[in-house]
Amino acid sequence: MSSESPFQSLGQGGVTLRPATLDDIPAALRLMDIAVDWLVKRGQPGQWGTEKPSEDPARVEHATQFVESGGTWIAVDNTASPKSGESGEELSIINSVVGVLTVGKANPYVEPATDPELYINFLITDRASSGKSIGTLLLDKARGLAREAGVSLLRVDCYAGGSGGLVRYYESQGFEKTDAFEIKDWPGQILIQRLNIGNKSGG
């Protein structure tokens, strides 16, 4: 078992991780809004569409289910100074939340693995916080949770369209491509990482 507290794990650059609560849902949706806006401005609406997830009841319900599952972790930047929201201006981030990770069973549109696994259902980070390795910190948390459960297989799926940047990101994190799939013209890619469950520090 890990010696760290189950309620918080130390990160780097002022970023810490903690389990999500229902109060974190607006912050998680805000990160999604930021990502959608960034993609749309670059002419890449294929991944998440063009509407704000925070205004989509289905997205809000999905986020709620993720938090209620008990498998969601929040990255908090203790050095962040978000906009105040004065004069009707939206907060850049909410409550200093700069990343979200959800792990659990395979997403319903993906075939279950033949081996025991932990599945990364959702991962997002604040684009303005790039350079703090928040994605790596969250993925390391997923690896640690898998090892604590005695599971050697970590899987994830992601959008495979556009330039393929998301696929390359996961490959840079040690994942390997397996099956590709498509849902209503949305191209996806499943990636896997095999873990040494006897080693809690490496991939």
Nearest to 159 by CA among 180, 136, 137, 138: 180
130 pLDDT more than 90? no
Residue 114 within a domain: yes
Return the higher-pLDDT residue of 80 and 197: 197
Residue 21 within a domain: yes
> Domain tally for the chain?
1
Residue 163 within a domain: yes
Residue 66 within a domain: yes
- Partners of 104 in the β-ladder: 119
CA distance 153 to 57: 33
CB 167 within 8 A of CB 180: no
Residue 1 within a domain: no
Residue type for position 6: P
Percentage of the residues of the chain whose pLDDT score is greater than 70: 85
4 pLDDT more than 60? no
CB 197 within 8 A of CB 150: yes
Q: How many residues does the chain have?
A: 203
Lowest-pLDDT range, 13-27, 87-101, 159-173? 87-101
CATH assignment of the domain containing 131: 3.40.630.30
CB neighbours (10 Å) of residue 46?
Answer: 13
Q: What are phi and psi of 158, to 5 degrees?
A: -150, 170
pLDDT reported for residue 88: 47
Percentage of the residues of the chain whose pLDDT score is greater than 90: 75
CA distance 167 to 185: 17
Residue 38 within a domain: yes
Q: What are phi and psi of 18, to 5 degrees?
A: -155, 160
CB neighbours (10 Å) of residue 183?
Answer: 8
Residue 2 within a domain: no
CB neighbours (10 Å) of residue 5?
Answer: 9
169 pLDDT more than 70? yes
Tokens of 40: 């749309």
Residue 3 within a domain: no
Which residues constitute the domain of residue 165? 10-194
- Enter the DSSP assignment of 89: P
Return the higher-pLDDT residue of 75 and 84: 75
pTM for this predicted structure: 0.88
Nearest to 94 by CA among 30, 16, 37, 33: 30
